[in-house]
Structure 1
């Protein structure tokens, strides 16, 4: 026959408190007695002897280690609020320690005159009454198993995930910072500047357009013959000389005056008396604010007063000095061209567009004429046999027209060149210069931005490592406290069953597993 004493008592940790109440070891209303005991513990701890053993004992509670030292340093007693895990077994051990430290206060009757000892003996007695200590310890054990330990493990898992993600993002931001640096360098290379003083370098690039404008104007002037051919052919077709019609007006003005022809003269029909070169001091001062580096432009200072082509700015402005009747009344004593009106015709973006349109018109005419002259159908030969064209038209051969076509196409290709158009806009618009500078600085800022984000990810990794270390340390303390409390409860319950083996099992087993 099996001896009952040999059969262990297995209790599920989550049902421990219910088991104790159902077996009538504890009362259902045990909690009402705990509040008074807690208050007495709080007051008793205020008057504790300086004992390293007591400090080490209380360090076994799951919160002491994280609040005691910092609160004591601050001179605060608030740390006492956190002794929620000081249980009966701690109190019993404190009494044992006080029996040694307070032994001098023991009288001949075996009683202690020390108030400390009286307080803790009272607390111990209150705990033992109706087995309140068993119910409280069981509740503490359940809370540790069901909430504290899983919560700490989740914190560790979350911190480890944050560590992995931060390391991944650190690499990504490092790559993006490198890509940003390459983009910035490629943009500088594409534009042809070094990036030390952006505004000054961009304006210096645009200053080199002066020779281009002179060359392109010279090429357009070389189109005088095809222009005259266009006029002569139109007059021949209409059988009249229409002096009121100004064909290709901008090209015509360039043919007459070359670089001396300004936008002002094209708009108002008269040449200005004075042309004022726009100033770029504000742009250059902005560069000086942003960088201490200086670029030497051989003392040119980007002043185009000595150039044939004057200035480049945005806001068109005309100052008329003299009678208020204006240009139309003929009473103007002096006219001043400023801003875009001071540009030569090939320099202004607006008139440059008109030039391209007029050259395309001339090109279309020449292509049509070439096709007509090369067509050898019987009807065309018959018509040419009876047709009497002026010498200015008849002497032009298809090969000559082909040559003119190639010249016009070459001019248009130069005017449509992407890099040249980029410089045209820089030269003609201070706002565009600012826009380009902002775009370049934005690309430059990408590297710094991603480097800062990369540094932030490094900081987050350090924080995550610290969180993991602290959580592991805290978890280690809680696990040890839980194991100890489990053993103490098993021993106390075993005493009530004449030493029968007690096993607290279930969720606690997985919770205590590493």
Structure 2
């Protein structure tokens, strides 16, 4: 009875032990096989010889769909070799002799490979190494590559957004400048030069508008008269002239009389280039072109030289020799009418010819326009100071001093001063209009039109460059997306093959331990 119980316990323990699973960490699988003496430490040297035989055997294979599938895109291992031998049993059946041996060299080669693999369990060591490499390196590497490609796409998309912002900003700035100047931007330089035709109309509008500041100017003038105790004070000369006389020529502003003729001022930027021979002025005086004026006393005025009706010529300090007058050539004179101080005048109050800067209107003349601007700023500063003083109720001294002031000064209020200052600001805004400033610079600065043209073209070049960069990035994103899509099925196949290899290894090890369940755990569970 006792013996029966003992035998039953032993049998039960053996059955329990057979059901106990063997858990092996995937990363330590190879070490586990070596420690259990399933494989030798020098297994790699022998495997290299087998790999060489496999490479040679692959060169001569029958056209079979199953073999093609086994050999495509993966590393051939022992388990593949077993399947290849099974397939060859069908394809090479004709070479089988009466003893059940195959005469086909293909079959012999693959059977020899299988036998070498089985010796010392080399196949198990190689399969374990493949499994570890797939789990720890191949699959993670491909996943990292996809992650890198996805990250690259994100960076490219971010850059595209930045390029889009830059493109829109440059285009907005270009449109703003074109709108400011009143051009389409298609033929920039030509359009800019055409704008110069608008200057007279702009100056005319300013001339009409500037009259609204006359009350402010009168107030400023009266205030200075009161402070200085004078009946007349020279203030705001350029501004006063513009209001009273309009936008006349600089010649009339300078000399106080209208010119007989105005030679249109041609900006340097619009002048045609001429040869050096055309730029050299002749030193000879062409008397046919001189308009001599006969005065009422029948004498001709040459400046310092006077020919009277008796035709006695006063040559100044010239001395004649006994042989007669000394002949003086025109080349020896070496001067022209302007340098000699001769002014050709017309009868009446009109003057000579206005040319160069004197032909410019006072608003078109940078120097005089600057004086007008300074006059306006001067009035504005005065009005702001008056508003501050009048708002300061504690300034009793200032209030006392203004008791003897003229009625025009005493009747002013903060509201009236503010209104006058608003009028001055309106005129200042027109004179400081960006379009006007651009046009004046284009007309008077030889290089400004080229600089402005280049600035606008740079805006357009930025737009085109951003578009080109975006196109390159979009193509790059497409390439990375296609590459990532191509890698995904590779990973899937590799995972499937790795799991298949895992089952084969577990099954093979299980056979060595009388069918005990074997589980490879660790990194492989993360696949």
Residue 2 of structure 1 is matched in structure 2 by: 13
Residue 374 of structure 2 is matched in structure 1 by: 357
**Contact 1:206/1:424 (8 A) holds in 2:** no
Residue 267 of structure 2 is matched in structure 1 by: 278
Q: Which sits farther off after the overlay, 325-334 or 422-431? A: 325-334
DSSP-derived class of the 1:259 partner = coil
Residue 524 of structure 2 is matched in structure 1 by: 508
Residue 66 of structure 2 is matched in structure 1 by: 53
Q: In the alignment, does 2:35 pair up with 1:25?
A: no
Listed one character per residue, the Cα deviations across residues 344-393 of structure 1 (whole Å, up to 9, x for unaligned) are: 33213343112323566689899999x9xxx9969986xx9xxxxxxxxx
From 409, 423, 433, the equivalent of 2:436 is: 423
Residue 330 of structure 1 is matched in structure 2 by: 340
Listed one character per residue, the Cα deviations across residues 274-323 of structure 1 (whole Å, up to 9, x for unaligned) are: 5541376699xxxxxxxxxxxxxxxxxxxxxxxxxxxxxxxxxx997647
**Contact 1:188/1:194 (8 A) holds in 2:** yes
Q: Whole-Å Cα distance in 1 between the matches of residues 209 and 502 of structure 2?
A: 101
**CA displacement at 1:47 relative to structure 2:** 2.1
Residue 34 of structure 1 is matched in structure 2 by: 47
Q: Whole-Å Cα distance in 1 between the matches of residues 420 and 100 of structure 2?
A: 126
Q: In the alignment, does 2:502 pair up with 1:486?
A: yes
Unaligned runs of 5+ in 1: 65-82, 284-317, 385-395
Residue 213 of structure 1 is matched in structure 2 by: 203
Q: In the alignment, does 2:128 pair up with 1:135?
A: no
Within 5 Å, which residues of 2 pair with 1:388-467? 398=408, 413-417=426-430, 420-429=433-442, 431-438=447-454, 440=456, 458-459=474-475, 461-467=477-483
DSSP-derived class of the 1:417 partner = helix
Residue 89 of structure 2 is matched in structure 1 by: 99
Residue 489 of structure 2 is matched in structure 1 by: 473
**CA displacement at 1:19 relative to structure 2:** 0.7
DSSP-derived class of the 1:11 partner = strand
DSSP-derived class of the 1:498 partner = coil
**Contact 2:250/2:359 (8 A) holds in 1:** no
DSSP-derived class of the 2:361 partner = coil
Q: Whole-Å Cα distance in 2 between the matches of residues 179 and 238 of structure 1?
A: 58
DSSP-derived class of the 1:500 partner = coil
DSSP-derived class of the 2:516 partner = coil
DSSP-derived class of the 1:38 partner = helix
Q: Whole-Å Cα distance in 1 between the matches of residues 251 and 268 of structure 2?
A: 18
> How many residues of Structure 1 are paired with residues of Structure 2 in the alignment?
425
Listed one character per residue, the Cα deviations across residues 52-75 of structure 1 (whole Å, up to 9, x for unaligned) are: 21111123xxxx1xxxxxxxxxxx
Q: Whole-Å Cα distance in 1 between the matches of residues 402 and 488 of structure 2?
A: 103
Structure 1 residues 450 and 48: alpha-carbon distance in aligned structure 2, compared to 1, 3 A threshold: same
Structure 1 residues 9 and 215: alpha-carbon distance in aligned structure 2, compared to 1, 3 A threshold: closer
TM-score, normalising length: structure 2: 0.62
**Contact 2:27/2:523 (8 A) holds in 1:** yes
TM-score, normalising length: structure 1: 0.63
Structure 1 residues 502 and 219: alpha-carbon distance in aligned structure 2, compared to 1, 3 A threshold: closer
Q: Whole-Å Cα distance in 2 between the matches of residues 449 and 407 of structure 1?
A: 50
Residue 276 of structure 2 is matched in structure 1 by: none
Listed one character per residue, the Cα deviations across residues 172-194 of structure 1 (whole Å, up to 9, x for unaligned) are: 76677667666655555454444
Q: Whole-Å Cα distance in 2 between the matches of residues 406 and 363 of structure 1?
A: 11
User: What is the RMSD of the two structures over their aligned residues, measured on CA atoms?
Assistant: 5.3
Q: Whole-Å Cα distance in 2 between the matches of residues 264 and 43 of structure 1?
A: 106
Unaligned runs of 5+ in 2: 1-11, 273-278, 284-332, 345-352, 390-397
Structure 1 residues 123 and 10: alpha-carbon distance in aligned structure 2, compared to 1, 3 A threshold: same
Q: Whole-Å Cα distance in 1 between the matches of residues 145 and 420 of structure 2?
A: 77
Q: Which sits farther off after the overlay, 42-51 or 129-138? A: 42-51
Q: In the alignment, does 2:364 pair up with 1:347?
A: yes
From 10, 28, 44, the equivalent of 2:57 is: 44
**CA displacement at 1:120 relative to structure 2:** 2.3
**CA displacement at 1:20 relative to structure 2:** 0.6
